[in-house]
Amino acid sequence: MACRVQYSIHNSLRLFFSSSPNFHTSVKCQRISLRNSKFSLSKGSLYCTCRASYTTNAADPFVLTTPLYYVNAPPHMGSAYTTIAADAIARFQRLLGKEVIFITGTDEHGEKIASAAAANGSSPSEHCDIISEGYRALWKELDISYDKFIRTTDSNHEASSGGQGVLAKGDIYRADYEGLYCVNCEEYKDEKELLDDNCCPMHLKPCVRRKEDNYFFALSKYQKQLEEILIENPDFVQPSFRMNEVQGWVKSGLRDFSISRASVNWGIPVPNDAKQTIYVWFDALLGYISALLEDNKQPSLQTAIFSGWPASLHLIGKDILRFHAVYWPAMLMSAGISLPKKVFGHGFLTKDGMKMGKSLGNTLEPTELVHRFGPDAVRYFFLKEVEFGGDGDYSEDRFINIINANLANTIGNLLNRTLGLLRKNCQSTITVDSAIAAEGNAFKDIVGNLVDKARQHYENLELSSACEAVLEIGTAGNVYIDEKAPWSLFKQGESGFETASKDLVIVLEAIRIVAIALSPITPSLSLRIYTQLGYSEDQFNAVSWSETRWGGLKFGHITTEPKPVFARIELETDSNNATSEAKKASKKKERQKTQKVVEA
Ligand code: MSP
């Protein structure tokens, strides 16, 4: 229970500054225009002394964030999941021609990190360096195309968030607090939410009773404004069922929360109060803004804001929704900074129904998955098989079946067999413009409709449905080529040649479109497809969504030698060893069958 207002604000804490009482915040309004604002410099801080006005600008960058990951332990598949999804969205936006600023990074302060470092026998900063580097290395393995990687221990971040005021002065007070703290959540818990023995429902570990004297943020003052914002901006929190959850929290009453810690040394010191450090969540949320700082610019919150704030999308897991959809908007309102446009809370990857996590130790190792199956398989499986927004369980059998069926067979094998036929019969050359080849052909319309569907799904963040729509093009391509059987037409000699070669062009054009439309999800596979189709890596990198329009392959274009773009996953487990000879024989048979299909 908080024992409130025991102290008055006793110093000129530079952490907090006043914003105009006239300030109106709306998530509909986007970019702060400083034309009418005056800033005066005082004690190294910028104080906004008049009302900021907002304007929307179509040329605003698409600023996308993942959470900043705790570095208490190396990343696991659950943490990688948010980043894979964010990467797919960032790549899609770039295909649309948007300037994208994709922010990820690590959250490195606080008690949980200090304890993890101590348990490893290292200093907090050594520990953070190693784990943070592990995140970067994993992002590289997973083909994550981030633009900014922020560490909350970066000096720029500390300079822009710790050293200057953020919240309105009247929103801060000092008080004693006593309550049950979950170190893994880094949060005081409401006792009603706890399980037996005061266990945190998320981490299944007992919370610890704490009593400290802290600075508090008057969240309760923002209840009405938050309620209004949520009503006026029904898409602010997505999926919609999470919006209902957020509205429920706000309606049930908001409690002030502490924004400093007296007992934690590993953190950014509160200016003018060396006994307190800034609460790790407060520190990390500001990282979304300080990440926007450019290397050659003065590190201040204002310069960061001018480099692209507000965020277009915060992508997070459902466990940290309250911080992002309630605490963070209220903090921003207090500071007079515009709100992010959207917060999307996805579900959990689970193992045996429990959230996969570092604290429970039931994790799946992403590096091992990438080394065994490659980045495209890992990205595709989790984005296609887990409905974005809901929970999803991993099973190796399902993983292998899906990847083999969709990437190796439906897409990879279709390309391989079609290119094989083109090589054998047409010297790997496109014999007619794809636009001419498909004139009056219903297949072209099917592809066009599916591409439009995929785009719509990407825009709505329905990543699984976007994958489905693109895969359907591959399925339709397989049906088309099987029905048309160009291999038989080629056998008829000149009379069948024109139709058969047109059919190959039609199928290859569809695969070219698949490569672009699936590139946000499977960037390496898409590049391999594109290069087999005879394009350079530079051409692939310059491609835009508009090139999913039918008609890219032109008469005279030469494709390259067909090689499987995606090898089937073949696994031999211990229990299989006894029958491994039999298995090898059946695999050989299967390979022969596949070869026949390729030859066909
Ligand atoms: N440091 C905070 C975030 C601060 S953002 C300003 C934090 N870090 S975390 O490492 O614990 O979690 C980061 C993200 O990983 C969260 O969005 C969380 O939901 C996500 N996941 C962690 N385990 C997960 C699964 N098992 N499944 C899906 N996502 C999960 O919270």
pLDDT at position 572 is 66
Long-range pairs of 301-308 with CB within 8 A, sequence gap ≥ 24: 301/46, 301/160, 301/161, 301/164, 301/166, 301/337, 302/39, 302/46, 303/160, 304/160, 305/32, 305/337, 306/34, 308/60, 308/61, 308/63, 308/101
Atom 24 of ligand 1, residue of closest alpha carbon: 78
Distance CA 583, CA 588 (A): 8
Q: What share of the chain is helix, strand, coil (3-state, %, to 5)?
A: 50, 15, 35
Residue 258 pairs with which residues in a beta bridge?
216
**DSSP reduced 3-state for 11:** coil
Distance CA 139, CA 382 (A): 15
Using most ligand atoms within 8 A of CB, pick from 71, 82, 363 the residue to mutate for ligand 1: 82
Q: Ligand 1: distance of its center to the CA of 67 in Å? A: 7
What's the half-sphere exposure (Cβ side, CA atoms, 13 Å) at 528?
Answer: 16
Using most ligand atoms within 8 A of CB, pick from 65, 72, 150, 320 the residue to mutate for ligand 1: 320
Atom 17 of ligand 1, residue of closest alpha carbon: 317
Give the tens place of pLDDT for each residue, 433-474: 999 999 999 999 999 999 999 999 999 999 999 999 999 999
Cα-based angle 26, 247, 224 (whole degrees, multiple of 5): 50
Q: Ligand 1: distance of its center to the CA of 317 in Å? A: 6
Give the alpha-carbon dihedral of 261, 262, 268, 269, to 10 degrees. 140
Q: Ligand 1: distance of its center to the CA of 88 in Å? A: 18
The alpha carbon of residue 310 and the mean position of all alpha carbons in its chain are separated, in whole angstroms, by 17
DSSP designation for 213: E
pLDDT at position 58 is 53
Which residues, at least 6 apart from 245, have a Cβ–Cβ distance to it below 8 Å?
Answer: 321
Describe the crossing of helices 442-459 and 494-518 by its angle, rounded to 10 degrees.
Answer: 0
Q: Which two tokens stand for residue 404?
A: 């083999």
Distance CA 193, CA 187 (A): 12
> Quick check: 16 and 46 in contact, CB under 8 A?
no
| N-terminal to C-terminal alpha carbon distance within the chain | 74
Q: Ligand 1: distance of its center to the CA of 283 in Å? A: 16
Nearest ligand 1 atom to the CA of 318 is: 19
Atom 5 of ligand 1, residue of closest alpha carbon: 67
Atom 16 of ligand 1, residue of closest alpha carbon: 317
pLDDT at position 597 is 31
Which residues have C-beta atoms less than 6 Å from ligand 1?
67-70, 78-79, 81-82, 107, 284-285, 287, 316-317, 319-320, 348-349, 355-357
pLDDT at position 351 is 76
pLDDT at position 297 is 78
Using most ligand atoms within 8 A of CB, pick from 203, 319, 323, 327 the residue to mutate for ligand 1: 319
pLDDT at position 212 is 79
Q: Ligand 1: distance of its center to the CA of 172 in Å? A: 28
Nearest ligand 1 atom to the CA of 316 is: 17
Q: Ligand 1: distance of its center to the CA of 556 in Å? A: 51
Q: Ligand 1: distance of its center to the CA of 251 in Å? A: 25
Write out residues in the chain with pLDDT < 70, as ranges. Answer: 1-58, 161-165, 359, 572-600
